[in-house]
Every structure is written in C-alpha cells, then in structure tokens.
Structure 1
Amino acid sequence: MPEWARLLITIGISALLALIAVEVVHRAVRRLTHSGRMYRPGQLFGVLLAVQISLSLSRTPGDWRGPALHATGVALIAAGAWLLVAFFNTLADVALARVPTDVTDNRHARRVHTQIALVRRVAAAVLGVLAVGAMLMTFPSVRAIGTTVLASAGVIGAVAALAAQSLLGNVIAGVQIAFSDALRLADVVVVEKQWGRVEEITLTYVVVHLWDDRRLILPTSYFLKTPFENWTRTQSELLGTVDVDVDWTVSVEEMRHELRAMLEGNDLWDGRVSVLQVTEAVHTLVRVRALVSAPDAGKLWDLRCLVREHLVDWVRRQGAMPQVRMRKTETGTGPAAAERSDHHTDARVFGDSPDGTQRDQAFSGPKGT
C-alpha cells in the first residue's frame, strides 16, 4: 500500500475517533449545562487536531508536509479560539440561567445580565485579537518585522489613540455602565423626551426599545454625559398623576370616594397610593389632581388612562363639567339711574370738590386767567 494511502487512512481513522470523543464530551456537557454552543467548534477542533497529529507522526516524504502542517496549525489556532469563545458563552449561559429575569423584582437579575453580556463581548474580542496575532506569528516574514513594529509602537499608539478616541471613550463608558449599576437591561428610561425600555447594551452603543416599537440607538458615552430618567433604578413601582378641570359645584369628597372605589376593583393598582387633591382654583375652573401608584411603568400608563376616562365620565354624569358664568346688570332710566348719572357726570381729572378745585388751580392757575 502506498504511503499516501496509509496517511489518508490514518487521518480518517483519527478524525473519526476525534468526532466520537467530541460526541461523548458534548453529551456530558449538554446534560450539565443544557447548552450546545461548543458542539460545532469542538468537532472542528477535534478533526484538525487529529489531522495535525497524524501529519506530525507520518514519515511520508515530500515537500508538501511543511505547508500542510503550517496550514493545519493556522486553522487549529482559529478553531481553538472559536472553541474558547463557545466555552465562555456556555459559562455565561449557565450563569444567566441561574438568575432569571421573569420575576417581580428583577433588578439584581438585570444587573447580572448586563454585566455578563458585556464581559462576554469583551472576552470574544480579546480572544479574536489574540488568535489573529498567533496566526500571524506563524509566518516567518511577520516575525522578522516584529522588531520594527515594536520600535514604532509609540508613534502608532499615539496615532491610534487619536483616531479611536471616540471609540475608546464609548468602550470605557460601556464597561462603566455595566459595573456602576446606573443602567441595566430592561430598565425603563426616558431619553431625548422618549419613553422606552433598554433592549441591548454593547461596548459602543445602547438600544432603547421605544413604546411605539421604534429603536433609539445612542452611544454609551451619552449616558455618562447627558442626564436621563431611569424609572426602575431601585424599584419598578411608580407614581402617576391625572389632572382634570371641573366646575366649582363639584363635590371633591364624592370625587375622592369615586376614585378609591374605581381603584379597588382594578388589577393595575398596587394598593399603595390613592390621593385626590385640588391643586388650583382660579377664575372659572377647579383643577383636581389624582395621584395613583402601579407596580411598573406599563401598568401605570394604562392605569392613568383608565382613571382619566372614569373621572371624565363621572364628572359628566354629575353635571360638574366646567362652565363659564356671566351676570347681566340693567342700568334703567328711572330717578335712581338719573341720580347715578348725575353723580358720575364730573369727568375732570381733579373733580368738583373744594380739594379738587384747589389742586386744579395749582396746576392750571385760577379760572379766567
């Protein structure tokens, strides 16, 4: 049998054994972690490792062995990096599975999810850079220019720092956000006068899922330089107000009891706050403000709308809608009217009294002069 045929058979058998070993390990890992992220990269790494070992132990002559071993080694480095990334992702999945977010108070869980997501991206980026560097170092020409590259590293670093200043700032801001607990995944925030929920946090940008299904994408540095509202920073419970303008004839106490009765039969209310107060009473209107509470922002919005609709309907049924009143005064033509008319006929600046005449002469001189 020719040497090349023996080599192919050896490679085939070793690759098959590697796939069997990977399958066994995969089933064990799948049972422990319930994750299959490492299966495909494990197969590729096992086959390449088997090929590399077979070529190294083979005594088949030829000039092709060197390039084949080098190509297999480069592919093995790439597959190893992929396997390590999958390994870290598997660990992240196990950690995330232990901290579910579908609970009432999920603040701690959202913080852990945010940190793990960013650490996973950083680890993947670092492993990718190291793998590319390791593959390049397998080429003799790259190793030969290494000294020159290191000598000019200072200049290159300065230029790169200036060129990537914004990018590095966003990366540092992303890491700071992850570990400062100022912003987490699924937090309800108000940014740029828009209400939404944090959907994704990366090293360079944050995606906010707005209430109307739009996505607002902001750089991570935005949240360190610009004030924003975080409605779930410490807890998800919120307070909301509803303002209604009514007539002066409204019974505030009855309106207060009506609000309480409406809230007690509603699942959106968390039972903490039910307040109704008159905040303004000027001119022709009385402004009444209802203060209610809900377990989260979404339920608070629905609750405020229901309270507004219910109070509007109650005000309409009570006939307490805002009204503008006008009073008509009749002047008349009788003696009393004539007397009032004579009383107001003097339209001079100082009047016709002795004191007025004296002041008039002081400004205009005696009459007839």
Structure 2
Amino acid sequence: MRLTGGKLEAIKVALYGVGAVGSLIAKALLEKKGVKIVGAIDMAEDKVGRDLGEILGLGKKLGVRVHRTPEELFSSVKADVAIHATSSYLKDVYPQIASLIKSGANVISTCEELSYPYHSEPELAKKLDKLAKKHDATVLGTGINPGFLMDTLVITLTAVCQKIEKIEAVRVMNAATRRLPFQRKIGAGLTVEEFKQKIKSGQITGHVGLEQSIAMIADALAWRLEKIEAEPAEPVIAEKPVESETVKVEAGKVAGLRQTAKGVMKGTEVIVLDFQAYIGAKEEYDAITITGVPTVKQRIQPCIHGDTGTVAMVINAIPKVLNAPAGLLTMKDLPVPSAALEDMRKYLKSYL
C-alpha cells in the first residue's frame, strides 16, 4: 500500500531470495519499465556481499549489492515492494516476511502456504495481517499454482454459473521442462522405496498448495467444507527409460509424482484437485471442469510452465498490491489479475 516516492519515480523493488525462482524474477524485472531493483537479500554465503549482476550471470555489475538481512539492506535504501522467494512453508518464512514489513516494504511472496494461510496456519495469518496493518503494508502470496491455475482461475470461471455441483481441476506437466531442484522435489530418478522413504521423512515435499487452493475456492463460494483431504503423494513409475537434461530415469524407477486433494461438503466431494508432474508425460495440460448450470469446461494446452507463470504472476501483482489496502490479502481479494505490459507506474492509482 505504501509508496516511498512520487508518481514519477520508478517503483523500488527489493529481492529476498535470489535462488532459482528469485533469479528469474530479477532478470524479468530488469526488462520492465517503471521499476528499479534497489537491493537484494540472501543468506547463502557465496552470494552475500556480491553484486546482483554477477549472481545473475549477466556479465556486468548492476550496482546492487546482496545483503544478509533486511536490516542491513534497509539501513541504506527504501523499497516500495519486496519480492520474497525462499520457502514453501509459512512457519519457516514468517520471521523473514515480518522483518520486511517492519522495514517498511509491501511484500509479494512465492511461499505456497501464504497463498491462503487461513487453512493451514490461521494464527500466523492473523498475526501477519495485524502486523501488516500496523505498518501500513500489503502482503500477498501468489504464483502460478497455488495463486492462479487451480484457484484464482477456477474462482473466475464460476462467475458464469447459477448452480455448482462439483469443481475439478487437473494439472499435468512434463517435469523434464522444469529446473533440477523441481525434478528432485518430485523424486525423479529414485527407486519406489527411496521415494516412499523420502516422502515419509519430508526430504521430498512434492507439490505444496492443494489444500490452500481448495480453501480459497470454498471461501470464495461461501461453501462450508466439512474437511479437506490431501492424499499422500504417489510415485509415477516410468514404463520405459525417460530423461531430462539433468536426470535419467530407468524403466521401473520414479519419473515423478501424482497428488490429489478433495474438499468435502455434506459428505460429498465438491472440489477435487489433481496434480501430476513427471518426466516423460506425453500430454501437458491444465484443465478445469465445473459441473453445474451451466457446466463449464476449460483446457489450456500445453500447461502453463511453472517458472514462467510464477515470474509473471509475481511481477504483474506489483501494481495491484501497491493499489490495495493494508493487510494480508489473497488473490481472491484483489481485482481480476492481468498483465502489466507497459511502464509499471501506469497501473498505479496514484499515477492516474
């Protein structure tokens, strides 16, 4: 909500986390008009103190130093918005986001649980909302999924319905097109036994966010669910050898995973989400079926690339967050999402 400068000044952006996703966001921001990266934060020892341009592999310096903590960074600069990309779990990132708020920045985070924390972490959500309002800051968790494909887009499509009996969303992707950390996250290349052990120990998390997406959809429709059931991730077994640029999967080993979650109301499954990511998927798509009056069927093929889509969702959210009231918000609280293709300042209410 807060802006540090006048309407003619570029929107000042700080980055918290310049790993795989954070680096992609940084590179995309450098191509945008009306925004300026003023600083970066990362705890990795090989990044602290270095110029952001070097870390991004640009072959030139940007004059933007990577700091260890928000306190170090914001002692010398101010930011309108901090883009946070470090972890999937709100318990882990709450101190980081709280420090950004206290430092005077609005926050957009890729933390999956933050996309709709009222289901999994209601007390932390309340604390974050209170803190954000105290410091006149807006906080949003978003990305491609959760954040859009299996929740915000679903909610938008329900607008044409008079009655709804059931909502189903399916996402199928060929994980060979994704980065190595993601392929490891879904267990590609492991034996079935290794996969099961790593899932049990938490070494493999799989996809995080299905429960949050279901809760967001249900709340948007004022559906009072009896429960949200998230099934354990199941391995997808390669029927023949498959590979990506970095991982080779032998026949009989794990190519990836499938996860499902269900929202139950009055003893009936009314929301079903099905996430599949594995190397060698022959068909990629994002599909939504809303059974009702009328029945709505939507299909995007191939599926939206996770990294590309997340970068776009985060950056396109900047003006909407800056235009929004203070507090912890979710995608269902903001105006219809749209691309910010022109100078970013043109989308600000203060610019109009």
Give the strand-richer structure, 1 or 2.
Answer: 2
Give the helix-richer structure, 1 or 2.
Answer: 1
Normalising to structure 1: TM-score of the pair?
0.19
Per chain length, whose mean CA-contact separation is higher, i.e. which structure has more relative contact order (CA < 8 Å, sep 6+)?
2
Normalising to structure 2: TM-score of the pair?
0.19
User: Which structure has the greater CA radius of gyration?
Assistant: 1
